[in-house]
Structure formats: structure tokens, C-alpha cells
A and B are shown apart, each in its own frame.
Chain A
Amino acid sequence: MTLRIHSRRDTAIAVAALLVLLAAPKIFPRGVVNDLWSVAFAIVLAASWNILGGFAGQVSIGYSAFLGIGAYTTALLSLKGISPWLTLPLAAFLGAAFSVLIGLPTFRLRGPYFTIATIGVSEAVRVLASGVSFTGGSSGLRMPADSYDFVSNYVAIVLLAAAAVGISWVIRGSSLGQALAAVRQDIDAAEAVGIDSTRVKLRAHAISAAMVSIAGGLFAMNFQYIAPGSVFDFRLSLSIVLMPIVGGVGTIAGPILGAIIFSYMQIKLLSSPALRDSYLFIYGGLLMLIMIFEPKGLVGLWMRLRRSVRRAPAAEIAA
């Protein structure tokens, strides 16, 4: 159930989109570019999550931990006088290391039990982060004043989004992708044919955690202020899960679609108080509708529509 890649046409579209996005600061007014930053940020989160949650079917509701680790690595080191750009590789490394640390015990759990454990881990991280002093507690941390450069940050997040999508695409076609798909479909059968399920899950987890942590660092640089309540927020974990699910879990196009819809919604929600108060209603309602009617998300719905359109003429002939 994946969208077929008509390689040449799709590559052309992707390259064109990337070029337009990269040139955006020169073409569009600042407000639009700000919104595009949010879209690219959402694409990084959704596409990264999808590598573990979609390809391997391991639904984690704890990804805000990686975002927070990345954001705090960048903020704390920048405050020590290190260039924020140089902190990003370390952010990626720490995020990946933490993903292995929590993956080792929790990947022994299956399906929903894994999901519950991830809620436990992320809540524990959030409680600890709000309690210790170096995170700035509830008052948070402010980045050094000279670390702000919107245009280069924008270019970086767009390139990261392109990398996240590209890496997903490469992984899906690779032997790791095959192993992840086998784990998703039947973990016992995968083990029986010699796949070390824990190992492939750990790899997928580390790759996606590293990208989310870099996004966290860029988040700190762009907003100049972070607090445990903003980067370790449960709602953040929640939207990271919802974007790929709405778009179509396990596909390449799904997370991008979900991220665009979600960031558009988020921008609309922020501008209207009535909608802002009902965002949980929208998120929760969407999740319920998708689970009851189309667990494969918008991409699944699209495939179904296309199939029924194609089948219709054939049915007429048969009649």
C-alpha cells in the first residue's frame, strides 16, 4: 500500500518544490516565509517519526523528548559561547544516543505496550526536565542575542526537511526498509527468517531521533526561547504522531501531506481564538474518524477512490 514512485516525474516535482522553497525568502514576504518555516519543521518531525512509526509500525508517543534534547543541547552550549550551528551535530548524536537508551528496554515490548511505555518515558523526561535547574525550570532559557539569523535558519530547516524525506525514501528501498516492513507485518515471522528485530528498530529509532533533535536545535535558534513546557510538551508528541497518521502512515507522501495540513491548521488555529480552544476536538475527532473509516489516512483514501474510479467502467462492461 504505497504510492508508486513514477521516478522521473516525482523527482522533478520534488526538485522544483525544493528550489521554490529555498528561493522563498527572496520571493515572498516575511510572514509567508515564517509559515513555510513551520511547514518544513512539521515535515521533518512527521517524516522522521514515520521511519519508526510507519515503516516499522512502532507507534511512539514520546518524540517530544528528542525535540527537547536537541533544543536544550543547542541552547545550553550556545550560552557557553559556542556557535549554535556547531552544536547541531552533538544534538543529533545525543538524541540518537537517548533513543538507543530508551529503545533497548522498550523495544522488547510489542505494539500497544511499547506505545504506553513511550508515554511513560516522555512524561518522566518532562517531569525531570521541569524539576532540574539547568533547563531553567518553568521560566526557561533565552538564547544568546547574536545567535538569530532567520534566513540561514530557514534554509537549514528546508534542507533538513528535504533530507528527512530523502532519507525516508532511501530507507524504504533499502534492506533496512525491507526488514522494518517485515517487523511491522509479523514480528515472529521476521525473527524466524533471521531479522534481528530489536536491532533494526533501534536503527530506525536512532535515525529518526537524530533528525528530530536537529530540528529541536533549529527550533531553539528560531524562537530564541525554550522552556520544558514548550519543547517537552505532551501535545507536541501528540501532533508528531497525528501528522503521519492523518496523511497516511508508512508512505512517503503521507507525512508530507499531514504536515502541510497540520501546520496550515495550526496557523489558522493561532489566528482565531474560537478555533484555538477547540484544537483537541479537531485532533481527537480526526484520529477517531481515521481509525474507524480509513486507518491508512488520506493517502489510503486517495488510493481507494482511484481504485473505485478505475473499477467502475469495468463493472459496466461486466453488467
Chain B
Amino acid sequence: MSSLLPVLVNSLLAAGLYATMAYGLAMIYGVMRIINLAHAGVMMLGAYATFTLFTRFHMDPFLSLLVVVPLFYFLGVLVYRAIVRRLPRASAGPSMESLLLLFGLWLVLQNLAYFIWTGETQSILTGYTMKSIEVLGVRVGLPLVFVFAASAASLLFLNLFLRRTYAGRAIRAVTQNRDAAWLSGIDAERVSAAAFGIGTAFAGAAGTLMSTMYAFTPDFGRSFLLKAFCIIVLGGMESFTGVAAGALVLALLENAVSAWTPIPTTFQDAISFTLLVLALVLFPKGLPGLAAGLSRKVTAR
């Protein structure tokens, strides 16, 4: 039996990473109504990019964010222009074609990583990987604190970008109402490319952050993808604070279960997957399309 404080501190720190991971997914969904299954593959590539920068150029993993973020932004824009744009635009909800297309991309990315880095498990060991620090009287790993700080900084930066710049406001406008945004002269095509780039950059950044804490293989990212889905479903797909709240709920639940119940840690992933299904079924209000569909059903009766 452990007390409340360690659970709270650990959850809060983990929530930062979870929010970074989920935000890229939420942005792409918001602007394009596309569920980006390739998100997992991009997170995995982010981890490997950081790994290469670390082993070849001895670049600190957190410093490598400065390389990974712009690189993955352009990668995202490229993927959008080369592939995603070719899909027929779904008017209401996300289309099955886009889901399966990006699923295919995920598989290709996995195989690409396998070609370049082989299937062996890799990890990044820095001078501070094993160090720990006291936060509010609770001992936590130093990387976790750094990861939280980097996540918080990037989310703050993103929030400012979305509120203060023209491009950010255009993204929000398209998210809220694509047609109205188009009528007021916003180039939805360019906004979509930018949003796909930002979403990809965030996935890459999340991969970088995760590589400082976890070992990874080309298969890395699948369980995190499901966690990210869980978060955006819990928090509502388009709201900035909603994503943060969803991340906190998931982190709290995971930490509480491992601290206070006898459920072994091997089953921890099963918790978030079950929560995902429960959240999808019980709180469908987070999914605007689904909510609209349900209310239509209710009014029809």
C-alpha cells in the first residue's frame, strides 16, 4: 500500500508525455477528420532518429528535439502532399480508406526501421538515465522530470501558436468549420498540410521523449498509439485542455491500479485498451461525429 502523493506526482509527470503523444493525433483528426494510424510508426521513427543522433553525433536526446521536430514537420508535409491528399475527402466522419491507407504507411515505416536499424531492441543510456530526484518529497526518475518539462514547454508553445498566429488561428478555424473557414478565404489545403506536419512533428517529439525512458524496437509505439486514442476519446477530439485532462485521467488510472490493486504490471496495457473501448462506448461525446450521429438517432425516435 503506497500513499496518495507518489501516485499523484507520477501521474502528473506521465501525463505530460501522454498529452504530447495524443496532441498530434488530435490535431490531424480535428483538421482532416483522419484517424492517423501511422502515428505509432512516426513515434517509433522519432525514437530511432534520436538514437542515431545520440550514437553517431553524441547529441543529447533532449537537444535532438531541435533536429527531430523540424525534420518530422517536413516529413509530415511530404506525406500529406504525396499520399494523403489523394484520398477522396470524407465530408462527415473519417473514411475507412484513410484509416487503412495510414495503416499501410505504418507497416511500411516499421519495415523501413527494420531495414535501417534491424529488429534488435535498442535503448539510449545517458549520464542521467538512472539518476533520480525528489519532487514534492517523492523520488522519481530524472528523465521523467525532463520529459515532463519538455512536454509542458512544447504544449505551451503550441497553445500560443494556435491562439496568437494567423496560421494557428486558421488551423483552429478549419477544425471548427471547414466550409466557413473556406468561405472566409482560408486555404484549407495548405492548412491541412501544415496540420499534418505539426501532428507528425509532435509524434516525432513524443518518440524522442519516450526513447529516453523506454527500450524500443521497430514494433514500438502500438500500445502508445492505443493510449493516445484513449486520451483523445476521453478528452474530446478537438479541445486543447480536454487532451490534457484525458492524459491525466489515463495516467492516474494506470498509476492507481499499479499502486493499489494486486493486478500485475504485465496487465497494465490491457487496462488502457479496455478503457479505450469503454471510453469509446460510454463517452462518445468526445467524438463529435459520433455524438452528432447519436443525437440524430435520439431526435429520430
**Bound CA–CA A113/B281 (angstroms):** 10
Given A291-B87, A292-B86, does the pair A285, B104 have CB atoms closer than 8 Å? yes
What CA separation (Å) do A111 and B93 show in the bound complex?
A: 9
A281 to B218, CA, bound (A): 13
In the complex, what distance in Å separates the CA atom of A130 from the CA atom of B269?
12
Given A280-B107, A288-B104, verify A123-B114 contact (CB < 8 Å). Answer: no
From the candidates A57, A109, A112, name the one contacting B35 in the complex (CB within 8 A).
A112
Indicate if the CB atoms of B110 and A280 lie closer than 8 Å: yes
Contact B281 A109 (CB under 8 A): yes
Shortest distance from the beta carbon of B97 to any chain A beta carbon, whole Å: 5
Output the least CB separation between A281 and chain B (Å).
Answer: 4
* Selected interface stretch from A44-52, A114-122, A310-318: A114-122
- Tell me whether B94 and A111 are in contact (CB under 8 A): yes
A182-199: which have CB < 8 Å to B? 188, 191-192
Bound: A59/B101 CA distance, A? 13
Closest-CB distance, A190 to chain B (whole angstroms)? 12
**Is B104 touching A291 in the complex (CB atoms < 8 A)?**
yes
Which A residues touch B222, using CB under 8 A?
Answer: 123, 234
Interface assignment of B12: CB less than 8 Å from any CB of chain A = no
Among A57, A59, A287, A291, chain B packs the most CB atoms within 10 A around the CB of A291
Q: B87 to chain A: which residues have CB within 8 Å?
A: 291-292
- A-side contacts of B264, CB under 8 Å: 131
Q: Which of B56-64, B198-206, B243-251, B270-278 contacts A (4 or more CB under 8 A)?
A: B270-278
Whether A119 pairs with B226 at a CB distance below 8 angstroms is yes
A121/B293 in contact, CB under 8 A: no
Decide yes or no whether B105 CB sits under 8 A from chain A. Answer: yes
Q: In the bound complex, what is the Cα–Cα distance between A59 and B96 (angstroms)?
A: 8
- CB-CB contacts of A232-275 with B at 8 A, as 1s and 0s? 00100010000001000000000000000000000000000000
Please, how many angstroms separate the alpha-carbon atoms of A292 and B98 in the complex?
9
Distance of A300 Cα from B280 Cα, bound (Å): 33
Q: Complex formed: what's the CA distance from A287 to B100 in Å?
A: 7
List chain B residues, Cβ under 8 A from A284: 103-111
**Which A residues from 102 to 157 make CB contacts under 8 A with B?**
105-106, 108-113, 115-117, 119-121, 123-124, 127-128, 130-131
> Is the beta-carbon distance between A281 and B99 smaller than 8 angstroms?
no
Interface residues on B, range: 35 or more
Tell me which residues across on chain A come within 8 A of B110, comparing CB atoms: 280, 284
B interface footprint on A88-109 (CB within 8 Å = 1, 0 otherwise): 0000000000000000011011
User: Quick one: given A112-B35, A281-B107, A284-B105, are A123 and B226 in contact (CB under 8 Å)?
Assistant: yes
Asked whether A116 lies within 8 Å of B111 as measured between CB atoms, the reply is: no
B148 interface contact, C-beta 8 A:
no
Q: What 1/0 flags go to A282-304 for Cβ under 8 Å of B?
A: 01111110011001000000000
Contact B107 A287 (CB under 8 A): yes
- List chain A residues, Cβ under 8 A from B280: 106, 109, 113, 116-117, 120
Residue with the highest number of chain A CB atoms closer than 10 Å, among B93, B96, B264: B96
Name the A residues within 8 Å of B284 (CB-CB).
108-109
Q: Using a CB-CB cutoff of 8 Å, which residues 99-154 of chain B contact chain A?
A: 99-101, 103-112, 114-115
Find out whether the CB atom of B281 lies under 8 angstroms from the CB atom of A287.
no
The distance in angstroms between the C-alpha atoms of A101 and B107, with both chains bound, is 30
Instruction: Choose one: B96, B111, B276; the contact of A280 (CB below 8 Å).
Output: B111
> Is A128 a contact partner of B101 (Cβ separation < 8 A)?
no
Instruction: Report the Cα distance A280→B114, complex, angstroms.
Output: 10
- A280–B115 alpha-carbon span in the complex (Å): 11
- What secondary structure prevails in chain B residues at the interface with A? helix
User: A7 on the interface (CB 8 Å rule)?
Assistant: no
Least CB distance from A131 to B in Å reads 5
- Interface residues in A28-80 by Cβ distance below 8 A to B read 57, 59, 61
With A110-B293, A111-B94, A113-B287 known as contacts, the answer to whether A278 contacts B270 (CB < 8 A) is: no
Which residues of B lie under 8 Å from residue A116 when comparing CB positions?
35, 229, 276, 280
Task: Find out whether the CB atom of A120 lies under 8 angstroms from the CB atom of B96.
Answer: no
**Of the residues B111, B281, B296, contact of A278 by C-beta under 8 Å:** B111
Q: Is A277 an interface residue (CB 8 A)?
A: yes
Q: Which of B94, B280, B289 has the most CB of A within 10 A?
A: B280
> Given the complex of chains A and B, what is the CA–CA distance between A281 and B100 in angstroms?
14
**How far apart are A71's CB and chain B's nearest CB, in angstroms?**
20
A61 neighbours in B (Cβ, 8 Å)? 103
Given contacts A110-B290, A111-B94, A287-B101, contact A127 B269 (CB under 8 A): yes
Report the nearest A residue to B287, measured CB to CB: A113
Q: Which residues of A contact B (CB under 8 A)?
A: 57, 59, 61, 105-106, 108-113, 115-117, 119-121, 123-124, 127-128, 130-131, 188, 191-192, 234, 238, 245, 277-281, 283-288, 291-292, 295
Q: Which 3 A-B pairs have the closest CB atoms?
A: A284-B107, A287-B104, A288-B104
What are 24 A-B residue pairs whose CB atoms fall within 8 Å in the complex? A59-B99, A106-B277, A110-B289, A112-B35, A112-B95, A112-B99, A116-B229, A117-B277, A117-B280, A120-B274, A120-B276, A123-B222, A123-B269, A124-B277, A128-B270, A131-B264, A245-B100, A281-B111, A284-B109, A284-B111, A288-B83, A291-B87, A291-B104, A292-B101
- Could you list 18 further interchain pairs (A-B, Cβ under 8 angstroms) beyond the known A112-B99, A245-B100? A112-B96, A113-B280, A113-B290, A120-B273, A123-B222, A124-B274, A127-B273, A131-B264, A131-B266, A234-B222, A278-B111, A281-B108, A284-B106, A284-B109, A288-B83, A291-B104, A292-B83, A292-B101
